[in-house]
A and B are shown apart, each in its own frame.
Chain A
Amino acid sequence: MNLTSRFRSISRRRRLLAATSIIAAGALALTGCSAGGGSTGDVKKLTLWLSSSAAQQKGFDQLSADYKKKTGISVDVVNIPYSGYAAKLHNAAQANALPDIANVPALDPIWKNKLIDLRSISGKSSNNINQSYVAKGTGGTTLAIPSDVTSTGLFINKSLWEKAGVTFPSSPDSTWTWTEFIAAADKVRESTGAKYSLVYDASPSRLRAMIYEMGGKYMQQGSDGKFSADSATEKAVDYFVGLNDDKTMPKSVWTSGADPSALFQSGQVAAYWSGVWQVSAFATSITSFDWASVPTPAQPVQAADVNAGGLMVGFDNSDAEGTAAKAFLDWMYEPAQYTKLAETNGYLPVEKGLDITYDFTSKAALDAFGLYNKELQVYKPISGYFLQAQVKWALEGKSFTTDPTVTEIGKAINGQQSSADAVKNIVAGYDKQVGK
C-alpha cells in the first residue's frame, strides 16, 4: 500500500510539476520574435500608430487602402488609447520597437533623434503648408508636420440666447469683447433661469486663449531661460478666477474635474468655451436644443490657442523602412489626398487654400467649421506660440509632462491661494520642467 501510494504521490507531484513547467514554458514560448529588426530589401508593410476616435481613424484607414492600391505596400493602422499613448511611445523607444509612422501628441526627447527630416514635404510649395505650425528643428530640419490644427472657440446655447432676445455676433470682423460677452451671457442666464452663464474646459490651452485675447502672452521664456508672466497675464488670470463664482461659472469644473461638456449638453448653460473638436460630437449628441459657434471675443487682440491636432512623424527604423515611411508621408500631404483626409476626419487643415466640403449633416456643424476656417485667417501669430515652444523644449531634451496651470488655478478658485500666487507657482512649475 505504502509503496504504491508513495509511487503515486511522486508521480502526481512530478506530473503536477511537469504540467506547471509546461504551461510556464508554453507561456514563455509565446515570447516569439520581438518587433524590430529592420528588414533589408523591399518593404512590404509599414505600421502607423495614432490615437483617435473611431470616427477619425476612418480617414487614415482610407489613406492606407488607397496607398495599398497605388503602391502595393500595406500600412497597418494601430489605434492606441490616449491615456497611455505617450508612455507607450516612450517605452517602445526603449525597446527599439517604434512604428514607422505615427501621429503623436507631442515630441518626446527620448526618440527625437530617430525622426526623419520632412523638410522636403513641408517646404514644397504645391502643398502650401502653413509654416507657423510646422515643428522645426535645428539647422532647418522639419521634425513633424501637423496632421490637422485645432483651435479653441466659443459655443452658445442658441435656443437660450434667442429666448432671452440677446444678440451675438456672427462673424469675426464684428466680434465682441470679453466684458460685452460676459454681460450678454449673464443677461441670458438671468432672464431664462439657466444655471450658469459660461462653462470653460479645464485646460491650460483654453485659458491661454483668453489671455492672448486680453493682450497677455502667458508664460514667456526670457533669453536667460527663465519664465515670467507679464502684467496683462496676471490681470487676465485674476479676471478669470473672479468669474468662477458659482454664478457665472461653476467652480467644480476647474477645482474637481466636473465635465463641462456634459454640463453644456444638459442645456442648462448659456455658453461653453472649448474647441473645434466638440463640433462633430455635438452634431450627433445635442438634440434637445440649438447650438452655434460664435466668434471668439477680442480685448483687443484677435487670437486663440491654435495647436496641432496631432503631429505626423516618421521614424527611421532602418534605411529601407525610413525611405518607405517618408514616401508615404510625401504622398499623404499632396493636396488631393490631404483634402480627402480633412473631409473624412473633419479636420481643420494645416494647408492653406484648400477647398474642403465637410460631410456633416448638421447645419450648425457646417457653419461652425466655416467660422473656424475664417477665424484662422485673422488670428495673430501669438496663437501658435505654445506649439512652437513645445517643439523647442523637446529639442532641448526637456519634457513638459504636465502643465501646472489647472492645479494652480484650481487652488486659486478654491480659495487656497491668491491668483497672483497661482501665476507665481505656474512660473515656478514651468521653470522646473523646461526652464534652464
Chain B
Amino acid sequence: MSATGTAAARLTGARELGARRARGRLNHYRFAPLVLILVNVVLFAAFFAWPAVIGLVYSFTDYTGVGSFHFIGLSNYEQLFGDSAFYAALGRTVLFTVVVVPTSFVFSLLAANLMVDRFAKGKPVAHIILFVPWLISPIVSGVIWRWLFGENFGLVNFVIESLGGGAVPWQSNADLSLMVVVIAATWGGTAFSMLLFIAAIKNVPVSYYEAAALDGAGPWRLFRDITLPSIAPTSFIVILLTTLNAMKEYALFQSLNNGGPGTSNNLLVQYIYQTGFQQGQIGYASAASFVLMILLMVVALIQLTVNRRTERRR
C-alpha cells in the first residue's frame, strides 16, 4: 500500500462517512459482514439446514428408522393435531415455562446484583456455590432432588412429619411434582443467566451511577432506573433462552419424575419421544418436532417484536 493510497483512503473514508451519515446506518458494507459470518453460515448449512431438511422430508413419510418409506402427505400432521395427548403435553409445557422463566430470571438477577455489590462479603465462596449446580448432570440432579422431595424417604417430608404435619405427595401429585422440577430447574439454571447478567451489569458505565447517586438515589432506584434499562439486551436474551430451553426441557423431567405421575407431566419433547422415536414412528416424531419448532419460532418472534418496540422507545 503506497502513501498516496493511504491519503486516497482517507479521502474515500471521509466521503463515505458523509454519504453514510446521509443514509443513516451502516448498510452498504457487504464484504466485511460476509467474511465475518462465513464460518457460521457454512456450519449452519451443514449441521442444521441439511439435517432439518432430512427431518422435514421424513415428516411427510411413514419412515420407521429402517428400510424404505412411503410418502403419506400431511397425515402425520393431521394425526398430531387430533391427538389429545399432544394438547395435554402442550398445556403442561406452557404452564412449566410460564412458572420457571420469571422464577429463574428473578433469582439470577438477584444473584448477579449481589455478586457485583461491593458491600456483600464473602463473594468468592458464594460465587462457587451458586455456580456448581449448573455443572451437575441431570441424572445426579435427579437423585439430589428426589432425596430432598421424595415422598417416602425425602428430607422435606421427614422435616414436615417431625413437625407434626402429614407427608406431602411430592411425586404423586402432578402439580407438586411440577413445582419440584421448577425448583430443580431454577437451581441448576441460575448460574448461566447470572454470568450473563454479571457481564452486562459490569458493562454499565459507572458515570451513570455517579450522576444518579449525586441526586440522592438509593440502591433500589439505581437498580430500577439505571441497571435494568441498561442491561435490557441481556435481559432479553436471558428471557428468550430460558423460555426456549424450558419449552424443550426433557432430561430433568425424565430423571425427576419420568413424566409422571402417569403421564401428567409429559412435556412436548417427552411426547415426541414416547409417541415417535420410542415406537419407531420417525415420520410422526419429525412432524411433531417441526410443529414444536414453529411454536418456538412464534414465541421468539413475539419476544423479538416486543424487544424492538422497547428498544425504539428508549
Contact = CB atoms under 8 A, between A and B. Distances in A.
User: Is there any pair of Cβ atoms, one from A and one from B, under 8 angstroms apart in the complex?
Assistant: yes
Interface of A: 2-3, 6-7, 20, 90, 108-110, 195-196, 246, 250-252, 255-259, 262-263, 266, 268, 397-399, 401-402, 407, 410-411, 413-414, 416, 429, 432-433
A229 B136 CA distance: 44
Interface stretch (B226-234, B259-267, B289-297): B259-267
B143 to A, nearest CB: 9
A2 B6 contact: yes
Interface residues of B, number: 33
Contact of A7 (B1, B64, B150, B280): B1
B108 interface: no
A411 B260 CA distance: 9
Contacts, number: 95
B249 interface: no
B177 interface: yes
B107 interface: no
B274 interface: yes
B175 interface: no
Contact of B262 (A195, A402, A407): A407
B128 to A, nearest CB: 29
28 contacts: A6-B1, A6-B6, A20-B39, A109-B67, A110-B65, A250-B151, A252-B152, A252-B261, A255-B172, A255-B260, A255-B261, A256-B177, A256-B261, A256-B262, A257-B258, A258-B146, A268-B152, A399-B64, A402-B279, A407-B263, A411-B262, A411-B263, A413-B262, A414-B261, A414-B262, A414-B264, A432-B279, A432-B281
Nearest to A20: B39
Interface string B134-168: 00000000000010001111000000000000000
Given A6-B6, A109-B66, A258-B171, A251 B261 contact: yes
Contacts of B192: none
Contacts of B1: 3, 6-7
Contacts of A257: 257-258, 260
A263 to B, nearest CB: 6
Nearest to A110: B66
Contacts of A263: 152-153
Interface string B252-279: 0000011111111100000000100111
A219 to B, nearest CB: 15
B280 A399 contact: yes
Given A255-B171, A256-B171, A257-B257, A401 B279 contact: yes
B153 A266 contact: yes
Given A3-B1, A110-B66, A401 B6 contact: no
Which of B151, B257, B280 neighbours the largest number of chain A CB atoms within 10 Å of its CB? B280
A413 B9 CA distance: 78
A247 to B, nearest CB: 12
